[in-house]
Amino acid sequence: MPDKSLKARLFVDHPLAASQSVSLNGRQAHYLLRVMRSRNGDSVSIFNGRDGEWSSELQMSQKEPRLVCRQLIHPQEAGPDVWLLMAPLRPARVEFAVEKAVELGVSRIVFVMTDHTMPRGVNLKRLQAIAIEAAEQCGGLHIPEIEDVSPLVDALKNWPSARTLLFCDEMTMVESVPSLQSLPQSPSALLVGPEGGFSETERREMMALDKTLRLSLGQRLLRSETAVVAGLTMINVALAARVSSQV
């Protein structure tokens, strides 16, 4: 959890350690100085996805503001190893899905072209910026890897045998939804298809994998970005329930 006494929190692409000095890019400097009204000596929380979260001190200079690491707040933790695979959507909808996926703690986002997907690309640079902002705001310590659009068939051919695939299937009856206890521990992956759903060929290929579960997200037909939130929430609840049962 983020330290509430630190009003600003930034992701920095720089090694972090005691007394380490970190330069700021233009966006970060503007955010601290103009938006947050930070001043010389103020404390700022920073993380890089590798070295944990640090309390740093803002130091002003004639050339540029810098941050100097003072104290480790949270050691780097290995979060749930959950992937998200999804068909590309319209820009606003895919940006929403990426933001919520980061908040819900995925380690990798892969865009896949299915038989019923409308051909469209994704703006990886824009989505990476959204992922960073989401992690900064939600207190996460990880920035997921985001991969460009590739055919679903290629992902299935190279699927790691140890990773469970959970695919959201609108044709699965609500009564057949696996219980929270039966949902897998990580590593796992949630697959959300396009508005037209999956083809029968894709269903057969997915069910032929070593570890596959078909998920229903209820009686209503959800939009793809809503299915992302619902499916990842189910996985998070299942993981939290396991942790609680072990305490």
Given a cut of 70, whether residue 246 has pLDDT beyond it is no
The most confident of 26-30, 36-40, 107-111, 216-220, by mean pLDDT: 107-111
Please give the helix or strand (H or E) that residue 29 lies within, else none. Answer: helix 26-30
| CB crowding 220-239: b at 16 or more within 10 Å, else e | eebebbbbbbbbbebbeebb
Q: How many residues does the chain have?
A: 247
> Does the CA dihedral 171-176-177-178 come out positive or negative?
negative
Residues linked to residue 166 through DSSP beta bridges, in sequence order: 190, 213
* Least-confidence region, from 3-17, 39-53, 109-123: 3-17
Burial class (CB in 10 A: 0-12, 13-18, 19+), 175: exposed
| CA–CA gap between residue 10 and residue 238 (Å, rounded) | 30
What are residue 83's phi and psi, to 5 degrees? -100, 155
Alpha carbons 41 and 22: distance in angstroms, whole number: 14
pLDDT in tens, 115-162: 999 888 999 999 999 999 999 999 999 999 999 999 999 999 999 999
- Sheet of 108-113: strand order equals 145-151, 108-113, 82-86, 188-192, 164-168, 212-215
Domains of the chain (ranges, CATH numbers): 9-74 (2.40.240.20), 82-246 (3.40.1280.10)
Note the pLDDT tens digit of each residue in 42-81: 999 999 999 999 999 999 876 788 999 999 999 998 877 9
In percent, the amount of the chain with pLDDT more than 90 equals 64
76-80 long-range contacts (CB < 8 A, ≥24 apart) are: 76/49, 76/50, 76/51, 76/52, 76/141, 77/141, 79/105, 79/107, 79/140, 79/141, 79/142, 80/105, 80/107, 80/186, 80/235, 80/236, 80/239
The alpha carbon dihedral of 176, 179, 184, 189 has a sign of positive
pLDDT of residue 1: 46
- Asked if pLDDT for residue 2 goes beyond 80, the answer is no
What sign for the dihedral angle of Cα 108, 111, 115, 116? positive
